[in-house]
Structures are given as structure tokens and as C-alpha cells.
Amino acid sequence: MTTQRHNGSMQAAVLYGPSQVAVETLPVPDIGPGDVLVRVAAATTCGTDLKVYLQGRHARMLTPPSVFGHEFSGTVAAVGSQVRGFEPGMRVVSNNSAPCGRCYYCGRGQANLCDDLMYINGAYAEYMTVPERIVRINMLRLPDALPFPVACITEPLACVLHCLDLASFAVGDTVAVNGDGPSGLMLAAMAKRRGARVILCGRAPQRLRVAQQFGIEWLVNYAEVPDQVEAVRALTEGRRGVEVAIEAVGRPEVWETTTAMVRKGGQAIFYGGPPGGTSMRVDAPALHYDQITLQGVFHNTPTHVAQALEILADPTLPWASLLSATLPLARLPEAFQLMMAREALKVVILPTPQAD
């Protein structure tokens, strides 16, 4: 295998441990015959990146010291000798993973559960190598009119679409979303797009206003009501509960609250990733006699990645409202501080001054 080497250096954010990040000068990455080198135009922060920053690692995706970040878009800088369909100068976005296509789960149409799911990190840098498998399966050309920062939302929106494909609701049914972060807002917006009557629960007035921009009319500020579950049930006929309730926070106690919102025969979906070693309590008689379905959901599939990019190209949806601030790479820790203070949904990181 011939490796294509590149002269020159780049700026990159290297994670060394919990809340320990340094922007350093590193060599521009090499690429193999099937790889693509992307000049990163924009990268966005997300809850997973925040957890990686605070914990200093991620068991599935990276071990420090490592360049990190996984939501990005940019321009093709170079392609390997065996790459077809991509060329220098092309505007692209890439998912942060790709399935193997050969294992038991891939064969059953559950590519998100692939036994050999390949991950990449390294978006908080001027350049990033996208390996052959991800180039082949999950790298896409951007529509000309789609801004780089908005394109970065492709990966999390793909996760949202995968979640909703597992949800059992029809047009006119009521769906509750518990959480007002970027994923909660996108879940609410996409559930409404599919014809649901959506109730969004959160506690930040500015985030609930963003939900209104997506057309969400039923809002519950759980900081202002004595009982969040009853407040949601009060918005359903006969206070019976919702058809589907989706948790988008990642805390077991919120999983329990979400489960309590559903009607008999309803479904609770757990979207947010909880801390390792945690557990939730379940009212076993209610689970049995009310015939409630508990559904976990993880990540996305190539089908959902393609669908997400197509939806992001719809200019009638206010995607830019999810992007709270724009900062240069050198101020990446400040971006995480904004997220921890709940002053930002997503922060756009510009690795180079020339990025759009």
C-alpha cells in the first residue's frame, strides 16, 4: 500500500486528558490509496464532544493524546490513487463512522450496531483524513448553496432520523420530547415534519424560543411547573399521556420521567447516552399492565446520513438557529464553557481564518 505524504503543517486541538486541550502545530496527515484529505472549513461542537473534553477520553472513539471533534465539513484537499467520485476542490461532508457491511448486524439491516463500526475523530484541525471505508460509504458532496457550518449538522440529524424511524406514531399522534438541547430541538422539529403533534420539555426560555422557530407550539418549561409529567399529560386528551415520549438528555432520572409520560400501549425512547454504570428504575406492574414499550436507540446508518443532508438543504427550516456562536480553533475550550453554562446550543469552530 502506497501512502501519499504531504509537506506542511497545520493547527490542531489535541486532547491530553480531562479538560486538557492544547492547540498545536502538527504535520498535515498522510492518506492511503482509498483515503481523502479534507481541509476542514467548519466543525461544530456537540454533547458527545463536551463529554470527551470533560472525561479526557472516549472508550469507543479515541484515546489521548488525540486530535478530536467529529462533526465537520470542508473541501477536498487531496485524494488517494484509488478514490473515485471525489476530487480536489469539491465541497464535502462526512459522517464520523461507517459500518463494515459484512457482520451479523449489518446483514440484518442494523448497520448502527455493526460489530466493526469504524469511527473517526480529528475535526478540530485544519486538515483531516477520511479513511477509505468512510469515503466509500458515508462521505457526501455538499449542495452548492448549503453553508459549511449547517452541513456539519448532518451527523446528529442522521441520528435523529434513525431514532424517529424506530418511533411508533402516526400523523396526528402526540409525541413528547424531553430535552431542549440541539438533539431535542431536532427531534421535535423532525417529529412535527412527520405529522406529529409535538410537546417539547425544557427549562431554557431561549431554547424554547428556538423550538418555536421550528413550529413547535406546545412547550413545557419544567422549571416552572410543579409536576412535569402531569403538565405533559394535561396537554393530552383525558390526560391519558402521549403515544411516544423521547428522552434527549442522557440521564437515567430523565429516562424515568419520560417513561411516565406515555399512555397505555405507548412507547418511551431513550436517545441520550447515559453515564457508564448507571441504571433506571421501572414500575414493573405499569410496564406489564399498561403494555408500555421501552426502546433504546444508538447512532445512525448510511441511509439516514444521506437523508439528513437532503433535509438540511431545505432553506425553509431555520438550521442556523442551532448554531449559537462562531469561534476560532484557539478558543475551543471557551466553546465548551459556553455549552456547560447553557449559553450555546452548538458552537461553530473555524480551524482557519479563511473558512466560511
Residues near 226 by beta carbon (within 8 Å), at least 6 away in sequence: none
Bond preceding residue 302 cis, omega within 30 of 0 = no
Q: How far apart are CA 96 and CA 341, in angstroms?
A: 26
Handedness of CA 309, 313, 317, 322 (dihedral sign): positive
Count Cα neighbours of 296 within 13 Å in the Cβ-side half-sphere.
9
Q: What region does 351 belong to: left with phi over 0, alpha with psi -120 to 50, or beta?
A: alpha
Q: Where in the chain is the domain with CATH 3.90.180.10?
A: 9-157+300-350
Grid cell 399522534 in the structure block, residue: 173
Rg of the chain over Cα atoms, rounded to whole angstroms, equals 21
Burial of 316 (0-12, 13-18, 19+ CB in 10 A): exposed
Q: Rounded to the nearest 5°, which phi and psi values hold at 65?
A: -75, 140
* Contact assessment for residue 131 and residue 120, using Cβ atoms and an 8 Å cutoff: yes
Which pLDDT score is estimated for 356?
41
Superfamily of domain 167-296: NAD(P)-binding Rossmann-like Domain (3.40.50.720)
CATH code of 9-157+300-350, in short, is 3.90.180.10
Which pLDDT score is estimated for 58?
82
Handedness of CA 43, 49, 50, 52 (dihedral sign): negative
Helix (H, G, I), strand (E, B) or coil at 328: strand
CA distances from 310 to 92, 153, 167 (A): 13, 12, 21
Which DSSP state fits 29?
P
- For the chain, 356 residues long, give each residue's pLDDT as a single digit of tens: 567 777 799 999 999 999 999 999 999 999 999 999 999 999 999 999 999 999 987 877 788 999 999 999 999 999 999 999 999 999 999 999 999 999 999 999 999 999 999 999 999 999 999 999 999 999 999 999 999 999 999 999 999 999 999 999 999 999 999 999 999 999 999 999 999 999 999 999 999 999 999 999 999 999 999 999 999 999 999 999 999 999 999 999 999 999 999 999 999 999 999 988 999 999 999 999 999 999 999 999 999 999 999 999 999 999 999 999 999 999 999 999 999 999 999 999 999 864 44
* Contact assessment for residue 213 and residue 227, using Cβ atoms and an 8 Å cutoff: no
* Contact assessment for residue 116 and residue 156, using Cβ atoms and an 8 Å cutoff: no
Q: Where in the chain is the domain with CATH 3.40.50.720?
A: 167-296
Which DSSP state fits 274?
P
Which pLDDT score is estimated for 353?
63
End-to-end CA distance of the chain: 35
Amino acid at 258: T
Q: How far apart are CA 186 and CA 193, in angstroms?
A: 10
Report pTM. Answer: 0.96
Q: How far apart are CA 211 and CA 217, in angstroms?
A: 8
